[in-house]
Each structure stands twice: as C-alpha cells, then as structure tokens.
C-alpha cells in the first residue's frame, strides 16, 4: 500500500512539474501589450524616468551592448547614451542592451531578461533633450507633402509650400490636370490649401529645383512634359515651355549659369530608346528665353543602375546631381558609376569612377555638407521590395571631369530606403525615416529613430525617434531656426487600399545642441545687422567673390556658413548644400566674410546665412541671394 501511495505521489509530482514547465513554455516568448507583473519605475541620477518590467524582452536586434553589474546600472547607462530609449538587461550574463527606439518593439514574456523603456516625461527631460534632441507633437496638414520647397523671403524665410498630386491624399486614375498645394507659415503655425489648375499640370513625381531668382521650377511628373514655374514675388504659378520629352522620377538641378538641367525619368512619358533600355538623355532650360534644349551628348546610359527587380524603367530615376563649375554637373549616384555631365552645345558625359562597387543605391540620400564634399547613404539595389542599405560614403570633388575621391564611412545604425537627409548649419547631416526593407506605400519595417553623422568624427549618433513613419513620398527641409521639418509618406493610388500608410502630417525635430543643460532653448549668436556688397534696400544680395558684413553680439569662436534653401521630393534635394565662408577681417563685433568667387561652388539662388558657435548653437537664418556672376 505504501509503495502504491509513493508511486501515486511520484506520478502526481511529475505531472505537476510537467504542467509547470508546460505553463512556463506557453508564457515564454508570448507577445504582450502590458507588463505581466506589477512593474516598477526608476528615475536615473540625471532625472530621466523609465518604466521597468522584469522577466520580459524586446524581440528586436541589439544596437549597443555593454557589460553592467545590475539592472539599475544598465538603466543609468541608457539614460546617458544617445539613442537609448528601449533597453533589456540580461542578469545572468550581466549584459546591458540598447534596443534604440524600434517601430515594432515586439515585447515578449521571457524570464531570462528584464526590459525597460523611457517614459514620456523621460523623453522630455533635460538630459534626454541634450543627447537625443526633441521631436514636436504631430501636426496635421492639408495635403500629404510628397514635395516641399522653402519660399525665399527677406529678411528671413517664414513659410514653405508643399504639394501632392491632383488630390491632397491620392494619385492616379483618370488624368486630372491640377495639383493640390498648401502653404505653411512657420512663424504663426498656420496653413492654407489651394488647387493649382491654371497650368494644366499634375505635378506628382516631378523634377524640382529653385532657379537663381528664387522661382521654383517643377518639370514633368504625371503630366509628363509640362513645366510649371512658381514665382514667390508675385505668389503666382505659370506654365513654362514643355520639355523636349516627357519625364517622371527624373532629377533636376540649377546650374552655375542659372539654367536648369534634368536627366532620366522613365516613370512617365515612356521609357524611350530601343529594346526597353531607357534613353532619356539630358536637356536644359533657359529661364531667360523660356526654352528647353535637348542635349543628345548628355547620355543617360552611363548613369543607369545595373539592375532593378521591376525592370529597366526604374534604372534612370532620381539621379544625385550636383552642379559645379562652368555649367558642369557631377552625377554622384544612385548608380554605382559616377559621371560628369557638360551642358554646353549638345552636351557630353565623362566617366568619373565608381562610388560603391558592391551595389547601386536607388532611393538613397545625398547632400553637400561642405564645399565640394557630398555625403551619400542608404537606398537599395531596386526601387522597391528590396533591403535598405546601411552603406555610407563621402564623395570629394577634385575638379571637372576628374574622378572624385570616395571614402567609405562606417555603416549607419539602420539600413534605410526612402529616407531623407538634411545638412545642419554646423555641417552635421541629419538622417530620418526610411525602411530596413523598402516597400512603397507600406509602413512595415519602418525606422522611426533618426541619426546624425558628424564629419569631424565620421561617426553616426542615434538620436530621438519620430512618432510617425516617414517612408516613400516623405520629405524633410531645414527651417531658418535650425529645426528640421519631417513630413508625409504614402499618397496611395486611388482606391489602392493602403491608407494606413498615408501620413498627412509632419513633425519638427530640434537637434540636441539647440538645448541648454536645463532643457531650455540654448543661447544663440545674435545678428545685429547683415549687409552685403550688392545690397538693394533690405534685400541682401551678393555676387560671387563679394562680401557679407555681419555685426553680432559677439564674434568669438564663431564660424559662418551659407546653406541653400531646399526643394525636395522622393529623397532628392539637389538644391541643398552648405558653403563655409572665409573671414576677411574682424573689427570689434563686426566680421567681413568672403563668398566663393565661383558660381559652381555657390550656385545662384537663395541661401540662409548662419553664424555657428562651437557648441553647434547658431543664429537664426537670414536670407541671402547669391547672384549669377
């Protein structure tokens, strides 16, 4: 009887143990929305708050890992580490892991780990602002901003324009020759929408660039050969001469002589050429005569990407175009092969070496962060349905028709396709949005967390995360106060069923250096007066080689730069470049600055002037018009 009882107890114990293991297995790895235990809060020594949940894990990749003795020590480390918002501690291995700020944290029960995340108050803590910067609340807009443009104005810019397609929130269907626009006033935070129909032009997916006099040229897109000119002085839109061939997804740029150059663009207007090979060679627009001229020698074939999973029509899209001396243009991407284009006569093309032997970088980002130096990163081999790349490079111009010098940089923290990049007044580059696996009109695999590349250290630093995905059809622009506008994404095909990826909104990002140690606005250099050698009333105009004279509250430790006002669509902003200025003399609190003498270095058009302190804090941007020499 005793043996029978013992056998029963043993069997029962085994069943209980088996049941316990079975329950543990069912809990471990289970996705959760709330902490399954009581949870707790922790405030770090620098007063950053975190929510803590033991025996849970975030099932995403580690971005940084360091050894820490305790969970509390791990959280303290996270509170001082840029970009650490979500974290996981392994108490057995005593390993502290930053998860960054993932779009989908994939929170799971797991008795092997303890997880923590910064609270809303922690995100707004002074110590967080000074390392991660700060995103504003989401601001609803009246169109999905597929393209955007800073509107020139003296003495400083107060608004930008944004536009979508024939509708504020969709595209496609029967042809409708109009475009939905809106204006946003950044001083009053007010907006108004309007429809442009007088030019009979659906401007969706065009080339876009600012001309020397500040007018915006919008060429091609859905109405594939049309050109529309927006004049900020009169706030009017007019139809200009049609291009020689229809184009969409092309890139356009303002040349050193004030003309506009465009190339590629097989999204609309047919592929051209023979046997499905794109042959949309370059052409130039002369604003003085309102005339386009074909450049048969500026052949598109050398700049095609090597392969796209959707076909040849995707291989001539969104060229990285950089105007340089004597009407030349460096095509620095997205194809792995670079080329110089000449725009005189019938045009020409000269091979300029290879940027990245491993792959093309379609839908990557590029920006001139200082004179003759271009930052390029991300993108993918194909236009859609392909992995986003982490690869980054600098491309240094060595002269027209000379091969640039290419330097491979450390990888970005995230692979990004459909991202945007903005050069900041201090020369750093802010990269935001995109997907680790690119798929148009989708938010899957989104990257919310931004990063900043510093050319002084060649390092990428993780910073704050936006609230909304910014992927295909998103934009970003530098504001005159140094914030970055990041908005849009989506604009689904009519009845396309992808409305969840439509983002008719924006946020402003404030970089870390614009906060002081208390989390308040940092002290900025103050400009008392700004004058120029070709000044016209209150309009600061300067010729190449001319001077700017600036009086400030103090000139100690300052550098000075011009940053060209941006116009952006489809991750391309050919207008964007930053040009440091040379100090000629300093008398008291007044400094005289020399503008470069070559319109190739400083193309004609409108710029912000910034005085930049060693901390990165800078003056409010004042408008300068660089004239055509």
Burial class (CB in 10 A: 0-12, 13-18, 19+), 477: buried
The strand order across the sheet containing 283-286 reads 251-254, 260-263, 283-286, 291-294
H-run or E-run covering 194: strand 190-196
Residue with tokens 């001083």: 187
State the Cα–Cα distance between residues 379 and 305, nearest whole angstrom: 12
Cα dihedral 287→291→297→298 (10° resolution): 40
Q: Which residues are catalytic?
A: 472
Contacts of 433 (CB under 8 A, 6+ apart): 416, 418, 419, 420, 446, 447, 450, 466, 469, 470, 471, 474, 476, 486, 489
3-state DSSP assignment of residue 313: helix
What ranges make up the beta strands (E) of 382-473? 386-387, 392-396, 405-408, 420-423, 429-432, 437-438, 449-454, 459-465
DSSP per-residue string spanning 40-74: EEEE-TTS-EEEEEEEEEE-S--SEEEE-SSHHHH
In contact, 287 and 258? CB cutoff 8 Å = yes
Q: Name the residue among 103, 177, 174, 180 with its Cα closest to residue 146.
A: 180
In contact, 490 and 148? CB cutoff 8 Å = no
CA dihedral sign of residues 240, 243, 249, 254: negative
Strand 337-342 versus strand 260-263 pairing type = unpaired
């Amino acid at each position: 009887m005793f043996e029978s009882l013992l056998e029963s107890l043993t069997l029962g114990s085994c069943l209980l143990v088996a049941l316990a293991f079975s329950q543990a297995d069912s809990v471990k790895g289970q996705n959760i929305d709330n902490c399954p235990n009581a949870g707790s809060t922790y405030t770090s020594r620098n007063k950053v708050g975190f929510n803590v949940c033991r025996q849970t894990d975030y099932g995403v990749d580690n971005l940084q890992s360091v050894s820490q003795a305790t969970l509390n020590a791990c959280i303290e480390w996270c509170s001082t580490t840029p970009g650490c918002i979500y974290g996981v501690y392994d108490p057995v291995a005593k390993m502290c892991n930053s998860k960054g700020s993932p779009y989908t944290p994939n929170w799971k029960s797991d008795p092997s780990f303890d997880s923590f995340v910064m609270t809303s108050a922690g995100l707004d803590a002074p110590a967080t602002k000074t390392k991660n910067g700060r995103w504003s609340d989401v601001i609803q807009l009246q169109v999905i901003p597929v393209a955007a443009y800073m509107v020139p104005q003296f003495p400083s810019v107060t608004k930008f324009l944004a536009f979508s397609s024939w509708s504020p929130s969709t595209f496609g269907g029967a042809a409708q020759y109009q475009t939905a626009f809106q204006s946003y006033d950044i001083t009053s935070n007010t907006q108004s929408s309007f429809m442009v129909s007088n030019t009979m032009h659906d401007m969706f997916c065009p080339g876009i660039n600012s001309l020397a006099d500040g007018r915006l040229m919008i060429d091609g897109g859905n109405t594939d050969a049309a050109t529309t000119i927006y004049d900020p002085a009169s706030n009017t839109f007019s139809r200009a001469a049609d291009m020689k061939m229809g184009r969409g997804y092309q890139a356009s740029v303002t040349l050193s002589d004030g003309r506009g150059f465009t190339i590629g663009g097989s999204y609309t207007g047919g592929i051209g050429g023979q046997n499905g090979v794109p042959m949309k060679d370059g052409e130039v627009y002369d604003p003085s005569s309102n005339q386009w001229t074909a450049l048969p020698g500026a052949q598109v074939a050398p700049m095609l990407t090597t392969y796209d999973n959707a076909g040849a029509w995707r291989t001539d899209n969104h060229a990285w175009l950089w105007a340089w001396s004597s009407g030349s243009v460096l095509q620095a991407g997205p194809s792995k092969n670079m080329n110089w284009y000449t725009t005189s006569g019938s045009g020409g093309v000269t091979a300029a070496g290879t940027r990245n032997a491993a792959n093309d970088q379609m839908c990557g980002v590029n920006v001139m962060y200082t004179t003759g130096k271009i930052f390029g990163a991300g993108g993918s081999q194909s236009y859609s349905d392909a992995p986003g790349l982490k690869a980054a490079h600098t491309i240094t111009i060595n002269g027209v028709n000379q091969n640039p010098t290419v330097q491979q940089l450390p990888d970005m923290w995230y692979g990004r396709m459909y991202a945007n990049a903005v050069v900041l007044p201090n020369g750093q580059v802010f990269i935001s949005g995109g997907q680790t696996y690119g798929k148009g009109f989708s938010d899957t695999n989104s990257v919310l967390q931004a990063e900043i590349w510093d050319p002084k250290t060649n390092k990428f630093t993780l910073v704050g995360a936006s609230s909304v995905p910014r992927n295909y059809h998103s934009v970003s622009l530098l504001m005159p106060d140094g914030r970055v506008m990041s908005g849009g994404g989506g604009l689904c095909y009519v009845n396309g069923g992808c409305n969840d990826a439509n983002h008719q909104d924006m946020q402003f990002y404030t970089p870390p250096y614009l906060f002081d140690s208390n989390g308040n606005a940092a002290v900025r250099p103050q400009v008392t007066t700004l004058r120029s050698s070709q000044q016209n009333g209150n309009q600061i105009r300067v010729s190449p080689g001319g001077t700017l004279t600036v009086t400030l509250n103090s000139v100690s430790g300052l550098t000075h730069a011009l940053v060209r006002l941006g116009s952006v669509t489809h991750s391309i902003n050919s207008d964007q470049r930053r040009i440091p200025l040379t100090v000629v003399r300093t008398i008291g609190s007044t400094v005289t600055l020399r503008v470069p003498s070559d319109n190739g270095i400083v193309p004609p058009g409108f710029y912000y002037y910034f005085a930049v302190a060693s901390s990165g804090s800078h003056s409010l941007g004042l408008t300068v018009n660089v004239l055509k020499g």
